[in-house]
Structure 1
Amino acid sequence: MKAYMVFDVGGTYIKYSVMNEGAEKLASGKVPTPQDDLEIFLEDIHNIVNEFENAFDLRGIAISSPGAVNTKTGFIGGASAIPYIHGVCMTDLIRQRTGLPVTIENDANCAALAEGWIGAAKDTDYYICIVIGTGIGGSIVMNHSILRGANLHGGEFGYMIMNDASRSSGKKDLQSTWSLTASTRALVTELEAKKSLPMGTLTGEEVFHLAESKDVAAQESIRQFYKKLAIGIYNLQYSLDPEKILIGGGISKRKEVTEGINAELSLLKDDTSTLTIEVEACQFDNDANLIGALFHFLKVHEPSIIS
């Protein structure tokens, strides 16, 4: 049976799975991500591959990674919590260690590709994924391909300016961006300020628990959170006009989040803005990056499998 070694490289752990061509996990595990040593990172990858290469017919290695991944060159631009992965050809380094073909793709893009392959956007030609977390990111997908943009910034929705950006000392007010006004972190920060709590006191989950216990300030912060998200989503629908909009990130698993955003979106419909705009939650959670990384590998090396 054909099998593929798939890695999801995160700031804390490197998750891995041996998968078949249908994204079924045959084996899996995780190891701590080395914090400051490329050599240890490469050796960990090599050791994991060695562990499974005798038991499985490994055909290649698929990697999900943070950063501005150039899928053609194997270099990772931008910045991430793993500084040593930037500025080197990661695909060449891993190929030299393992002797196997290697592909690499950005983690958010992997999550989006997973949804289009066998998830919530299956059989959808044109969709966007919005990932809501400490910031807001995402991907634009057309015909199972990521729209990357001239500067590899396609899908960086969080940089949209959502209100009047005042200028101080010649710099734009970053509090005006979507990431810093409508992310989960923004929700938490707003409620901490309302309650005069030290920064870092609350989590997103705790904000929702407070709202469920009838905390008026938490309920109002969540209502504003939905409204700010809806405004950005409205803008994306009218600028990109996708067939489907998916939301991801840990908070998307709460049914009330999707319902709350859709309720706010319905209020934006009027005589001029006649589109019915709705969002759906992503299907996959922890395995999304692994599944999407495998899809990317198959598309590059064995396209007949997914056609």
Structure 2
Amino acid sequence: MAILAFDFGGSAVKYGVWNGQEMTDKGKFTTPKTWEEMKASLLAVFLGMEQEFEGVAFSAPGVVDVEKQMINGISAIPYIHRFNIFKELEELFNLPVAIENDANCAGMAEIYEGAAKGKKEVAFVVVGTGIGGAIFHNGQIAKGAHLYGGEFGLMYLSEGETFSKLGTAVQMAWSYCERKGVEKETFTGEDVFRLAENGDELAKEEVNLFYEYLTQGLFSIQFSLDPEMIVLGGGVSAKEGLLDEINRRMKEKLAHFELNDFIPQIVTCKYENDANLIGAAANFITIQKNNE
């Protein structure tokens, strides 16, 4: 039977139907301003589908505490936090509900049907404005004792700065703008990459630092968690030549530390736009199987 999946985003809520093979009947609506409006919008989608579902799956921002049935932390949707959201949604649909953090869902999509299919030990690293991710141990999400597992962006890299501050193309662009003395939105990461390719010396410096810090962070993740595979997600994962440059620098670091047992397997994600929806459905399926 099908699963209805929703992905809570700060500006839009995406939805779709997982039929066991693909995500169909996809759509989205603007993120409502209140919880009551959100519930009304969710129910309207549910009733509009005119079919039976096994359950409803959600991808959401924040720290999802399954035991306490709530979402902690902070996000761009403040009204979904710190109450029993599981219970309210189950009552709304009169169906089983599963909720998981959005980065964990994106990672689950790669484990379930994506780049890491068949792998058991995986680190999923999302590189956007900041850096997030998910850890998978024995094929299951490993959240850690305080539910902060996979918050790779909080790792210290250099002079008190974090991985999120140093290892993203967005931050690279902001640094370039600051050094140029212009507004930080003047140039994007794509602009800086292009400027570097055209010989701009300052852009070349910033691109070099971006790759160096990104590789340093991935090196630390590899030798802290020892995953079979690191999967990179986020917009920058689609950049041509990204993996070649990371792998070149990774090999240099391995040689420097005389680590020659293996070469870390780093790949880019298979899913982009539908990753959170597919992962939410995969999470629901996993929970139902574990409860059998």
CA shift for structure 1 position 280: 0.8
Q: 1:21: Cα distance to partner? A: 2.0
Q: CA deviation at 1:278?
A: 4.1
Find the counterpart in structure 1 of residue 236 from structure 2: 251
* 8 Å contact from structure 1 (residues 108, 138) kept in 2: yes
Are 1:135 and 1:184, in contact at CA under 8 Å, matched by a contact in 2?
A: no
Encode CA deviations 1:216-263: one digit per residue, 9 max, x unaligned.
322221111011111111111111111111111011011322222111
Establish whether residue 295 from structure 1 lines up as the match of residue 292 from structure 2.
Answer: no
Q: Distance in 2 between matches of 1:50 and 1:225?
A: 47
Following superposition of structure 1 onto structure 2, how do residues 154-303 of structure 1 map, counting pairs within 5 Å?
Answer: 154-165=149-160, 176-270=161-255, 272-274=258-260, 275-302=262-289
Structure 1 alignment gaps of length 5 or more:
166-175
- 1:136-194 deviation per Cα after TM superposition (whole angstroms, max 9, x unaligned): 111110122111011100011111111233xxxxxxxxxx1111111223211211122
Structure 2, unaligned runs of 5 or more: none
2:1 is equivalent to residue 6 of structure 1: no
1:69 to 64, 70, 73: 64
Identity over aligned pairs, percent: 37
Paired residue total = 290
Q: TM-score scaled to structure 2, two decimals?
A: 0.94
Q: Residues 62 and 74 of structure 2 are in contact (CA less than 8 Å); yes or no, is this contact kept in structure 1?
A: yes
The answer as to whether partners of 1:125 and 1:144 remain within 8 angstroms in 2 is: yes
Distance of 1:89 and 1:184 partners within structure 2: 37
Give the Cα–Cα distance (whole angstroms) in 2 for the partners of residues 109 and 195 of structure 1: 37
Tell whether the 8 Å contact from 1:74 to 1:103 is kept in structure 2 after alignment: no
Indicate the residue corresponding to 1:148 in structure 2.
143
Contact 1:16 1:29 in 2 (8 A): yes
Question: What is the TM-score with the length of structure 1 in the denominator?
Answer: 0.90
Q: Work out which of the residue numbers 130, 134, 147 in structure 2 matches 1:139.
A: 134
Superposition CA RMSD, Å: 1.7
1:32 aligned residue: 30
The whole-number CA distance in structure 2 between the counterparts of 1:25 and 1:291 is 7
Give distance in 2, aligned partners of 1:208 and 1:218: 7
Q: Alignment partner of 2:157: what SS?
A: coil
SS of 1:269's equivalent? helix
Name the amino acid aligned to 1:261. I
Distance 1:73 1:299 in 2: 19
- Partner residue of 2:14? 15
Instruction: Please give the alpha-carbon distance, in whole angstroms, between the structure 2 residues aligned to 1:148 and 1:220.
Output: 36
C-alpha separation in 1, matches of 2:244 and 2:232: 12
Q: Distance in 2 between matches of 1:259 and 1:235?
A: 19
Task: Report how far residue 302 of structure 1 moved.
Answer: 4.2
What corresponds to 1:41 in structure 2?
Answer: 38
Give 4+ residue runs of structure 1 displaced > 4 Å after superposition. 302-305
- Contact kept in structure 1, 2:228 and 2:265, CA below 8 Å: no
More divergent stretch after superposition (129-138 vs 272-281): 272-281
Indicate the SS of the match to 1:30. Answer: strand
Q: Does 1:97 align with 2:92?
A: yes
Would you say the 8 A contact 2:62–2:73 is kept in 1?
yes
User: Is it true that 1:51 corresponds to 2:44 in the alignment?
Assistant: no
Partner of 1:109: 104
